């Protein structure tokens, strides 16, 4: 098996196949915009390396084993990419020249197919499709020159995906190690119509300051994303174990035994303790769905799920939650209309204050102005807030004490 040494971040990329294990490589991982710092901290904690942030991305150096560990254990990342070259470019011709400097036979076997996926941000006289097409041509030409064979392109189900990102004139090209985004946890058997991204839920839990033994409540839990992510965190279950596939399994330079080694290490950390995690929703259908999701994730024995009205919390709770993490309706996809959302938030905050005084709340909403109006009426002071992208929606996460 060839082990690669990749030298990047200079304008003369140089990639060689070397029989050396434990080499360090450059990677980037994608994540939710507005939560890059939380994802960078996770990379640092999981790998013990320094990570820096870009727009929707985290950069770091690691071994290939570290990259596999992120794929299996990360709760906040979407995709891990091994960087083959990063350079400043001014034109499509430079995209071609930069991409053509990579030693593709070290990454793609002659019988394998490939596809290029390109993203572009900034002002350019060309499209992301143009970038993908130039890079594709560079891959085919380089392979032909080095190996004398023509690689097959397969846009639907390729063996190897080359990821390109052009942000202004910063061009990064790498091999996708992940495949479908890591935020798609395979435990979800019930799809809530306004489900929160699992990676945002995990980031909110991290930002909330919640520690696993403190009583946690999501009073509007829908399909259970927040409470399930919390239970997985508490039990140290790597979310990757639910996945059926990873792009790295098809890559010739990844040692086939490496994944089992990493998975075994991670499995040793799993515990089966019970944690005080509680989810409520006013919809019996969603609570039923949350139960199915929790069962599918193997954490239904540590989450209490029940039907209840978050606006009448005091009548329901027989304990004092220390942390509330929630994703109330925004008045956009479901629930009360935008006009009535400020009034709804007012009732919600009053109910939370009545039932859980002193608790720390972390919530995400697209209707942040309505939330702020309600907060000022109830006398709730926001400790911090940040803007994040929830898919295509501009949302805010805010934290406050009741
Ligand atoms: C944005 S969704 C939450 C989605 C959830 N985070 C997930 O990932 O599946 C908001 C939820 O609030 C629930 N809800 C609305 N009003 C409620 C109330 N008064 N009490 C409890 N739940 C309520 C809705 O039924 C809906 O499931």
Across the range 90-116, mean pLDDT stands at 94
Please check whether residue 398 is in contact with residue 384, taking contact to mean a CB–CB distance below 8 angstroms. yes
Residue 130: CA count within 13 A, CB half-sphere: 11
Tell whether ligand 1 has an atom less than 6 A from the beta carbon of residue 223: yes
Question: Taking the model in full, what pTM does it have?
Answer: 0.91
- Quick one: CA torsion of 289, 292, 293, 298, rounded to 10 degrees? 160
Category of 281 on φ-ψ map: left (φ > 0), alpha (ψ -120 to 50) or beta: beta
**Ligand 1 centroid to residue 291 C-alpha, Å:** 14
Atom of ligand 1 nearest to the CA of 309: 20
What mean pLDDT, rounded, does the chain reach? 91
pLDDT digits (tens, 9 = 90+) for 276-293: 999 999 999 999 999 999
pLDDT digits (tens, 9 = 90+) for 37-77: 999 999 999 999 999 999 999 999 999 999 999 999 999 99
Across the range 88-102, mean pLDDT stands at 94
What pLDDT does residue 340 have?
83
CB atoms within 10 A of CB 336: 18
Structural domains present in the chain: 3-176 (3.30.2130.30), 198-235+271-401 (3.40.50.150)
Greatest Cα pair distance in the chain: 74
Pocket test for ligand 1, best of 204, 335, 346, 367 (most atoms within 8 A of CB): 335
Tell whether ligand 1 has an atom less than 6 A from the beta carbon of residue 329: yes
Using the predicted structure, report yes or no on whether residue 2 has a pLDDT greater than 60: no
pLDDT digits (tens, 9 = 90+) for 152-210: 999 999 999 999 999 999 999 999 999 999 999 989 999 999 999 999 999 999 999 99
E strand intervals along 125-263: 152-153, 160-167, 170-176, 216-218
pLDDT digits (tens, 9 = 90+) for 337-370: 556 888 899 999 999 999 999 999 999 999 899 8
Using the predicted structure, report yes or no on whether residue 1 has a pLDDT greater than 80: no
Range with the lowest mean pLDDT among 5-9, 11-15, 16-20, 54-58?
A: 11-15
Using the predicted structure, report yes or no on whether residue 132 has a pLDDT greater than 60: yes
- Quick one: CA torsion of 140, 141, 142, 147, rounded to 10 degrees? 80
């Amino acid at each position: 098996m060839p082990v690669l040494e990749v030298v990047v971040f200079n304008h003369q990329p140089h990639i060689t196949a070397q029989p050396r294990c434990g080499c360090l490589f450059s990677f980037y991982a994608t994540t939710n915009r507005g939560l890059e710092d939380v994802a960078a901290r996770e990379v640092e904690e999981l790998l013990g390396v320094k990570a820096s942030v870009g727009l929707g991305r985290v950069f770091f150096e690691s071994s290939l084993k570290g990259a596999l560990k992120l794929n299996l254990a990360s709760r906040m990342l979407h995709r891990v990419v091994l960087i083959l070259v990063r350079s400043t470019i001014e034109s499509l011709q430079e995209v071609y020249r930069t991409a053509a400097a990579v030693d593709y036979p070290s990454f793609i076997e002659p019988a394998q197919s490939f596809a290029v996926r390109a993203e572009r941000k900034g002002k350019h006289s060309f499209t992301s499709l143009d970038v993908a097409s130039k890079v594709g041509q560079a891959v085919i030409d380089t392979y032909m020159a080095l190996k004398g064979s023509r690689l097959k392109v397969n846009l639907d189900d390729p063996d190897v995906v080359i990821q390109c990102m052009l942000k202004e004139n910063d061009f990064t090209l790498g091999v996708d190690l992940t495949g479908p985004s890591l935020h798609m946890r395979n435990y979800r058997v019930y799809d809530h119509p306004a489900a929160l991204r699992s990676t945002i839920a995990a980031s909110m839990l991290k930002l909330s300051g919640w520690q696993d033994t403190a009583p946690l409540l999501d009073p509007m839990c829908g399909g259970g994303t927040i409470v399930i992510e919390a239970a997985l965190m508490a039990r140290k279950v790597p979310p990757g174990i639910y996945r059926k596939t990873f792009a790295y399994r098809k890559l010739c330079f990844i040692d086939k035994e490496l994944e089992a080694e990493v998975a075994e290490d991670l499995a040793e950390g799993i515990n089966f303790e019970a944690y005080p995690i509680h989810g409520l929703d006013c919809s019996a259908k969603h609570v039923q769905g949350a139960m199915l999701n929790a069962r599918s994730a193997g954490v239904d024995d540590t989450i209490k799920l029940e039907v209840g009205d978050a606006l009448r919390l005091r009548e329901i709770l027989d304990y004092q939650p220390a942390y509330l993490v929630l994703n109330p309706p925004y008045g956009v996809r479901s629930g009360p209309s935008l006009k009535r959302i400020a009034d709804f938030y007012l009732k919600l905050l009053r109910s939370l204050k009545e039932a859980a005084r002193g608790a720390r709340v972390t919530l995400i909403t697209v209707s942040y102005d309505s939330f702020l109006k309600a907060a000022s009426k109830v006398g709730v002071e926001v400790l911090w807030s940040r803007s994040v992208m929830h898919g295509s929606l501009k949302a805010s996460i805010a934290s406050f004490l009741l």
